Amino acid sequence: MLNGPSTVAALAERLELTPAAVRRHLDHLLEDGTLETREPRSGVVRGRGRPAKVFALTAAGRDRLDQAYDDLAVQAIRFLAETGGKDAVRQFADQRANKIEQRFGDLVQARPDLAPVEALAQVFTDEGYAAAVRNLPVGEQLCQQHCPVSHVAHEFPELCEAETAAISRMLGGRHVQRLATIAHGDGVCTTCIPNMRTATNSSVTNSKAKSKERVTR
């Protein structure tokens, strides 16, 4: 499920198995609590009939993907928060994000053929995020199918905040927006990276709206 929530048909095609065989495996994983079923996201265009449900990893399922160390990590950051306060947690999150930025800089220098967003996805994949880039009409979307610190980030959102700020910096200060995070129960972490024109138009629109609101008041 590192490709995010998937339907039986999608899994069957990816694994080159019959839908019946895939469903047997999924039923077993549902029984032991590794997977759960979800309704598909709204807005997805599908064929006739009722939309197929998707299967996603549960918290227990993620624990089986080498995340058993999370309890220790949470305890360590709790201790950091208790002894150093929120500032200490933010400094830790920033330091972790800075290391990702350093790896990004090294990769860009070594692979000038890669687009910045592609290099970013490669760095996150190397860090265990199984990242990929999706092209959209309004820009690009960075999808992280796995999060090695999801349990920690659920309690300490400073990790996600620092990571989002680092993504913006690595892309030359471009505006980015987190749409979903695994830490808060979503199947995939998604970060929207609007193209420059869209971001500029959005900024102008927001500025006009705020000005109009001040005049109204």
Smallest CA-to-CA distance from 159 within 132, 190, 181 is with: 181
pLDDT at residue number 135: 92
Alpha-carbon dihedral 38, 147, 178, 58, rounded to 10 degrees: 20
pLDDT at residue number 163: 96
pLDDT at residue number 203: 45
113 vs 202: CA distance, rounded Å: 30
pLDDT at residue number 216: 46
Q: What's the Cα-to-Cα distance from 170 to each of 8, 93, 131, 147, 148, rounded to whole Å?
A: 37, 16, 15, 19, 20
121 vs 113: CA distance, rounded Å: 14
pLDDT at residue number 205: 45
Smallest CA-to-CA distance from 55 within 17, 16, 13, 2 is with: 2
| Maximal CA-CA distance, the chain | 63
Domains and CATH numbers, the chain: 8-63 (1.10.10), 70-204 (3.30.1380)
Mean pLDDT, contiguous 10-residue spans, the chain (217 residues): 76 86 89 86 52 80 64 89 95 96 96 94 93 92 90 93 96 94 90 73 46 47
pLDDT at residue number 68: 55
pLDDT at residue number 194: 92
Length of the chain counted residue by residue: 217
